[in-house]
Amino acid sequence: MALLEKLTKRAQKIYPRILLPESTDQRVIQAALSLSTQKIAKIVLLGNEDEICSQLNQSSENKKHNLEFIDPKDEKLRNDYAKTLFERRKHKGLELNESLDLVSDPTVFAMLALQRDEVDGVVTGAITPSQQVLGNALRIIGVSNNSKLVSSFFLMMFDQNHHNYDQNMIFSDCAMNIDPTAEELAEIAQSAFKSAKDLDIKPKIAMLSFSTNRSTQYSQVEKVRLATNICKTKLPDVDIVGNIQLDAALEEKVLKIKDPNETFEPPANVLIFPNLDAANIGYKLVQRFSGAQAIGPILQGIAKPVNDLSRGCSVDEIFNTVVITANQCK
């Protein structure tokens, strides 16, 4: 069974409440209807029910769509959410009247709904900049107890005609941390390890660099080497290699030439990039040139399931991101 099919079936069993706050976007509406029809999750849209139903050409009384709605203009709800925000941020100097203004932002409202356990997960970003999504998620939801850092990954899925290695791979961190330290890079790798296991991928981790086995002496290389050592200490039973170049991480014959004493057996399926430049460019190159599906960025290390869409996302990408988010709700 293909991974996405397996995850879809698991999502249907979990059947969490997933909030899609960008209900003015037609891609979001189409994905919501498809998700609801297939019972992937109980889909909740942010907005006035009658206004949204008019886009569906259905009356709110004729609920063929099986969607739920949270109206952010409801005065009682706005006041309740503003109080929640005030309590969470008053230590930062936030005033109650400022909270009332902030809850007018659909992203803030969505994160508060998640924080209040009125939904199980949030997927947004189709029309909202990532900085706004991620910033509000960090301020309102925060980092999980088991993590020190919020990072992200893309699930790269290759069809039968375009994969020479594992059909499913994780690329991290492609969206959050610009230039992580060795300690932060190790934390990203540990989170990616957990994410892979959660998605039924047996992780083989490569800490990528432009050098293999310290073939060059630069601070960037040393950072990856230190991060690798930290990971090997924290995850002693996991296959981890680094610092290593991409070709050596994927091809055994290349690795044997570049580092003949290395015991790691390629190919790796969890690729940890040294910085955001490499990771973001890397996943887009693979996506465009191979036709791979890139699902994400999926957040890891955050206290509750929140995921950010690309503003260029398709209906299918929204659908798949909700499937992954539903699996994070287990």
Q: Give the pLDDT of residue 318.
A: 95
For residues 256-266, average pLDDT = 93
pLDDT at 62 over 50: no
Is there a contact between 79 and 97 (Cβ–Cβ < 8 Å)? no
78-87 pLDDT tens trace: 999 999 999 9
Which H helix or E strand runs over 272?
A: strand 270-272
Q: Give the pLDDT of residue 63.
A: 56
Q: What average pLDDT does the chain have?
A: 91
Classify domain 151-290 at the CATH superfamily level: Isocitrate/Isopropylmalate dehydrogenase-like (3.40.50.10750)
10-21 pLDDT tens trace: 999 999 999 999
Helix axes 106-115, 130-140, angle to 10 degrees: 30
Q: Give the pLDDT of residue 276.
A: 97
pLDDT at 59 over 70: no
Least confident of 47-61, 173-187, 215-229: 47-61
Q: Which pLDDT band, with edges at 50, 70 and 90, does 162 fall under? A: low
108-140 pLDDT tens trace: 999 999 999 999 999 999 999 988 998 999 999
Q: Give the pLDDT of residue 311.
A: 87
| DSSP state at residue 292 | -
pLDDT at 152 over 80: yes
Q: So where are the chain's domains?
A: 3-142+303-328, 151-290
Report, in this order, helix, strand and coil percent for the chain, each rounded to 5. Answer: 45, 15, 40
Overall CATH class of domain 3-142+303-328: alpha beta
Residues forming beta bridges with residue 306, ordered by sequence position: 122
Overall pTM > 0.75: yes
For residues 6-29, average pLDDT = 95
pLDDT at 218 over 90: no
Is there a contact between 243 and 211 (Cβ–Cβ < 8 Å)? yes
Q: Give the pLDDT of residue 328.
A: 93
Is there a contact between 192 and 300 (Cβ–Cβ < 8 Å)? yes
User: Which of 64-68, 157-161, 165-169, 290-294 has maximum average pLDDT?
Assistant: 290-294
Q: Give the pLDDT of residue 216.
A: 74
Q: Return the exposure string of 17-44: e unless at least 16 CB atoms fall within 10 Å of the residue's CB, then b.
A: bbbbbbbbbebbbbbbbbbbeeebbbbb
On the question of a common fold for 3-142+303-328 and 151-290, the answer reads: yes
Which H helix or E strand runs over 138?
A: helix 130-140
How far is 328 from 304, CA to CA, in rounded Å? 8
